[in-house]
Structure 1
Amino acid sequence: MDATFWAFVALIIFLALIVYLKVPGMLSSSLDERAAKIRNELDEARRLREEAQQLLAEYQRKRKDAEKEASELISAAEHEAAGLVQEARQKTEEYVARRTAMAEQKIALAETEAVNEVRRRAVDIAVAAAEKLIVEKADAKTQNQLFKDSVAEVKSRLN
């Protein structure tokens, strides 16, 4: 018996032992388990991808809503600013009108006071001139009576 025969016998025993110990079944089940694990990982990856797409769509929707809200806020702020500018302009115009009216009233009052002062001085000058004329041309009793009448008349006109 040569070495080839014994190598052949060892090979047959080895193959019989492998079949007896169910190594091909173990290999097959191991490969099946690995294929199932890979399939599960692929399913999980698909599920995660779908969730990611849903999250992306949700965040895009939220971003659009936020942009719309920001646009509305900007529009409202612009409208409010325009209203405030208009209100400020109106208040400024009213203030200027009130100040102008007050200035005109002060001017009219000053004018009235000036006219009254001129009248008082004219009356004083007229009284002084009348007194001087009366002193020069009338006697003492007549002078006193005329002076009193004139003063009374001037006072009644001023009141």
Structure 2
Amino acid sequence: MKRLSVLFALVASPALAASGPFFSLRNTDFIVTLAFLLFVGILVYFRVPQIVGGLLDKRAEGIRNDLAEARRLREEAQEIYASYERRQREVKSQADDIVANAKREAVAEAEKAKKALQLSIERRLKAAEEQIAGAEAEAVRAVRDRAIQTAIAAATEILGKQASPAERSAGIDKAIDEVAQRLN
């Protein structure tokens, strides 16, 4: 309280510069000083400085708690961020492994398909060659049969003009036997 009165005395010193007696109710500076001192006295009586101090202390404690909470949340966020970065690296690594594995499998499947295609082509070529050989043998057989028929017809015509029916019959039988032996 003594401090306040010294403070008020210093603050009120400019009021002494007014004209006329200072301690008069006609002096507005004196009235203002009295009102101010009365106001401060009421504030002190109702413990307003202590209430304001308590409120400020509560506010300071709230700010400290908010700062501690913010610090805790920041640390938690950093941990979560680090966790997500680790997870992202793991996922990227897994994705790279999957891509590499898929490429290896694709190459293996391509090689497998290439071999299967090559085997299929070889089988088809072999089948075509066999078909060609069969057709060739059939053509040779057909040409041979046609040649035999032509030879028989020519021989029949020639023998028909030169030989008797008994000789012709014996010659035909002999020719048929020879042809049969050659074909087998």
TM-score bin (small chain): 0.7 to 0.9
Give 1:120 deviation, angstroms.
1.2
- The aligned residue for residue 89 of structure 2 is 64
**145-154 or 90-99, which deviates more:** 145-154
- The aligned residue for residue 2 of structure 1 is 24
Give 1:125 deviation, angstroms.
2.4
- The aligned residue for residue 53 of structure 2 is 28
More helix by share: 1
- For normalisation by structure 2, the TM-score amounts to 0.74
Q: CA RMSD in A?
A: 2.3
**138-147 or 27-36, which deviates more:** 138-147
Gap runs ≥5 in structure 1: none
Number of equivalent positions: 159
Distance in 2 of aligned mates of 1:87 and 1:59: 41
Distance in 2 of aligned mates of 1:9 and 1:77: 93
Q: Counterpart of 1:62 in structure 2: which amino acid?
A: R
Q: Counterpart of 1:31 in structure 2: which amino acid?
A: L
Identity of aligned residues (%): 36
RCO comparison, higher one (Cα < 8 Å, 6+): 1
Distance in 1 of aligned mates of 2:69 and 2:38: 44
Gap runs ≥5 in structure 2: 1-22
| Aligned partner of 2:63 among 16, 34, 38 | 38
Distance in 1 of aligned mates of 2:37 and 2:135: 139
Distance in 2 of aligned mates of 1:61 and 1:130: 101
